[in-house]
């Protein structure tokens, strides 16, 4: 085999290995600011995804999440919010929430899918929790979540 072809294959293999190492080096973001929320008597320790980068990563790459924890995505203006589960390993439920904390709709989301899950109307907040958390607590559309973000 000519030396250039061998070098080309070696470079390709090295490039592929570097790309795979970069992908596997992706880590969950766990150092975000937090806020305390309440769903009736149930307390939620929510990480805040407040900017584009934080919202894009969201709960990707997380292998576990305690039952009382979640992530609250905040947006500057109410708009139709749509979420997917690319690189998200945990089954989640998204609560799309109005400015006053009222749950507009809930969407169960399967891990590692590109299926879109959208708010039924424009909202500024989306709270992701482990799948089944809202159902176990009896939380449905119309229920009010309380906490600092909804006190405006």
Kindly state the tokens that stand for 86: 């690319």
- The predicted model scores a pTM of 0.82
In order of 60, 107, 111, the CA distances from 88 in angstroms are 4, 15, 5
Kindly list the distances between the CA atom of residue 125 and the CA atoms of 10, 95, 112, in Å, as whole numbers in the listed order.
48, 8, 22
Q: What is the pLDDT of residue 24?
A: 40
C-beta separation of 67 from 137 below 8 A:
no
Number of C-alpha atoms within 13 angstroms, CB side, residue 59? 31
Backbone φ and ψ for 32, nearest 5 degrees, come out as -80, 160
Report the pLDDT value the prediction gives residue 29, as an integer from 0 to 100.
85
Bridge-based pairing state of the strands 42-49 and 69-79 = parallel
| pLDDT tens series, the chain, 152 aa | 566 554 445 444 444 444 443 444 467 888 899 999 999 999 999 999 999 999 999 999 999 999 999 999 999 999 999 999 999 999 999 999 999 999 999 999 999 999 999 999 999 999 999 999 999 999 999 999 999 999 76
Predicted pLDDT of residue 152:
60
CB distance 82 to 115 below 8 Å: no
Inter-residue contact 41 to 151 (CB < 8 Å)? no
Domains parsed from the chain with CATH numbers: 34-150 (2.60.120.1140)
Q: Which letter does DSSP use for residue 12 in this model?
A: H
Rounded Cα gap, residues 65 and 59, in angstroms: 9
């Amino acid at each position: 085999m000519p030396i250039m072809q061998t070098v080309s294959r070696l470079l390709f293999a090295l490039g592929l290995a570097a790309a795979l190492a970069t992908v596997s080096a992706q880590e969950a973001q766990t150092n975000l600011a937090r806020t305390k929320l309440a769903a009736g008597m149930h307390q939620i320790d929510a990480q805040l995804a407040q900017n584009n980068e934080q919202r894009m990563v969201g709960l990707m790459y997380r292998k576990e999440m305690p039952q009382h924890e979640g992530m609250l995505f905040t947006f500057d203006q109410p708009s139709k919010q749509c979420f997917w589960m690319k690189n998200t390993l945990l089954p989640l439920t998204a609560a799309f929430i109005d400015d006053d904390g009222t749950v507009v709709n809930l969407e169960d989301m399967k891990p590692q899918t590109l299926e879109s899950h959208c708010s039924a109307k424009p909202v500024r907040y989306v709270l992701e929790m482990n799948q089944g958390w809202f159902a176990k607590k009896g939380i449905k559309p119309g229920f009010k979540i309380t906490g600092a973000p909804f006190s405006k």
